[in-house]
Chains A and B, each alone.
Chain A
C-alpha cells in the first residue's frame, strides 16, 4: 500500500523532469534559431551555408556514430553521391527545379547507403570501419574514372535555379534561408529519432548489444535503418553543398572527407545533438582562418593536433564538456 503510493510519486517526478528537459531543449532550439536567422546580416552567407552543409553532414554521421555506436569510415561516398547526382541532373536537365535535383541526390545516397549497410552491418568495430572505407574507396575510383563527374577537374557551373520554380536561389540570402530551413528540418528529425521509441532501442543496442539480442531484438535491422537514414541525410548535405557552391568535386568523395567528419563530431561532442554542429562550425572556421594566414600549409598538422588533444584531454568534445561542467556546477 505504502509502496504503491511511493511509486506513483516517483513516477510523477520522472514525468515532470521529462517535461522540464523538453522545455530546456525548446529554449536552446529557439535561441539557436534566432541566431541563425540573424547570422547572414553579420557574416558572409556563403560561408555560413558552408558551415550549415557540413553541420548537417556531421549531424547525419553522428546519428550512426554517436547514437548507434557504429564508426563508418565511408561517409564521404554519400556526401559525394548526393552532390554529383544533384549536380549532374541540374546541369543537364534544365526542366528540373532545384528541389527535385536535391531530392534525387538524396535518394541516390539512400540507395547507396542501403547497399553499404547490407554489406557491412554484420561486422563490428574496426572491421565495420574497414569495410565501409573499402566500399567508399570503390565509389571514389568510380567517380575518378567517370566522365560525367569531370574527374580531377570536378563538376563546375551547376545552376542554382529556382526553388519550386519561383524563388530565385542565385540570390545568396534566398539560398541561405533555404539551406537553413533544410538544416533545421533535418536537425529536428534527428532530435526526434533519438528520443523516439526506435531511438531507445538504438541506445540499448549501443550500450549492450548481447543483452538487446537476448531481449528479442533483431539488432542488425535496427542498425541498418540507422545507417540508411544517416546516409540519406549525408547525401542531402552533399546535394545542398553542390547547389550552394555550384560545384561538385572529388574532394567530397576522398577518404579525407570521411576523416574530417569524424574529427568534427569528436571535437564537437559525439552522442550529443548539438556537438556535430559546434564541431563543424569550429573545424570550418579553423580551416578558413588558417588558410588566410601564414600557416596555410599547416592546416592538416594543426587539425591533427586538435584531434589528438581532443581524444586525450577532452573526450566528450566541446558540447560534452560544457554539459558535464553545467551538471557539476549547476546541479
Chain B
C-alpha cells in the first residue's frame, strides 16, 4: 500500500530567540484532501508554511513528503518535488503580462532558463499551454495585460494559474481569499475546488465559511501548537476552539469570531 499521508510533520519546532512560534506540531495531510490550517492571528500558520517550504529553517523536527524526509532540502528543490506555495500578499510578477507570468512557471520544466543566447521567441511554444491555464481561471482576455493593472481578485486568480502551471502535487495556499469582496471569494472557492481535483491542498484561511465549504479536514493552531484536528463539524463543536476565537480580546479577531458564529448558526 502506498503512503496514506502526502505530507507529515513530526514534532516540528521553530524558535525565534526565546520565543516559540511553532511548538511540536504534528501534521498529517491525507492524499487528495483539502486540508485547512486555521487559528487566531499569531498562531503560527504562516510560519508553518514557511517551514514546509524552507523559507524558514526548522529548529527541530522532521518533514516527510510521501514518506521521504525532506527536512534538509532547500526551497527550490522542494518546489521541484511538486510542493508549490502561494503567498499571503498576491505573488505575481507585476511588470510582466499575465501570459508572461504563466510562462515563467512553465519555463522551469523547459531546461532553457539559463539560455541567455536564445531568442525570446523560443518561448512562444509555451503560449498555447499558458492560454489554456489563463482560460481555466477566466483570465484569457487579460493575457496581454500588464499584471500590475489587474484587479486584486484577478491577480490572485493569476497567481493560482501560475501555481497550477507547475503541476504541483501538493498546493500550499496562504489565505487565498484574503482582502476580497464576496463575489471574488465565491470565484476563488470554485477555482480552488477545481484546482484540487487530483491534488492535495493545504490552505491557511481566515474565512470560515470558505473553510466549511471547501475543506475535508481542519487543523486548529493556537500559540504555535495544534489545538485540535478533525472535520468541520467536530472542530466547530469543540469548546476549546470556541474559546480561542471568542476569548481572545484582540480586536483583530472579532471579525473571525463573528464569522464563526454565523457559520455555527448556519450549521445548526
Contact = CB atoms under 8 A, between A and B. Distances in A.
Contacts of B72: none
Given A200-B107, A214-B85, A193 B116 contact: yes
Provide the main secondary structure of the chain A interface.
Answer: helix
A15 B108 contact: no
B79 A213 contact: yes
B123 interface: yes
Contacts, number: 132
A37 interface: no
Interface string A15-48: 1011000000000000000000000000000000
Contact of B104 (A3, A4, A212): A212
A208 B105 CA distance: 13
A215 B79 contact: yes
Given A214-B87, A216-B79, A11 B127 contact: yes
| B75, B96, B144, most chain A CB atoms within 10 A | B75
Contacts of A198: 112-116, 118
Interface stretch (B24-32, B134-142, B226-234): B134-142
A225 to B, nearest CB: 7
Contacts of A11: 127-128, 131, 143
Contacts of A3: 135, 140
A145 B7 CA distance: 59
Contacts of A4: 135
B93 A203 contact: yes
A138 interface: no
B107 A214 contact: no
Contacts of A255: none
A7 B135 contact: yes
A229 B156 CA distance: 35
B103 interface: yes
A196 B120 contact: yes
Contacts of A10: 131, 140-141, 143-144
A6 interface: yes
A225 B75 contact: no
A197 B115 contact: yes
Interface residues of A, number: 39
Contact of B96 (A8, A193, A203, A213): A203
Given A13-B144, A207-B95, A211-B87, A200 B135 contact: no
Given A7-B134, A222-B114, A207 B96 contact: yes
Interface in B64-109: 74-77, 79-80, 84-87, 91-97, 99-100, 103-105, 107-108
A192 interface: yes
Given A196-B116, A201-B113, 12 more contacts: A7-B134, A7-B140, A10-B140, A11-B143, A14-B144, A197-B118, A204-B104, A207-B93, A210-B87, A212-B104, A213-B76, A221-B114
Interface of B: 53, 55, 74-77, 79-80, 84-87, 91-97, 99-100, 103-105, 107-108, 110, 112-124, 127-128, 131-132, 134-135, 140-141, 143-144, 162, 166
26 contacts: A7-B135, A8-B131, A10-B141, A10-B143, A11-B127, A11-B143, A13-B144, A14-B97, A15-B127, A18-B124, A192-B117, A193-B116, A193-B117, A195-B120, A197-B123, A199-B120, A200-B104, A200-B123, A201-B104, A201-B107, A203-B96, A204-B104, A207-B95, A208-B93, A214-B86, A215-B104
Interface of A: 3-4, 6-8, 10-11, 13-15, 17-18, 192-193, 195-201, 203-204, 207-208, 210-219, 221-222, 225, 229
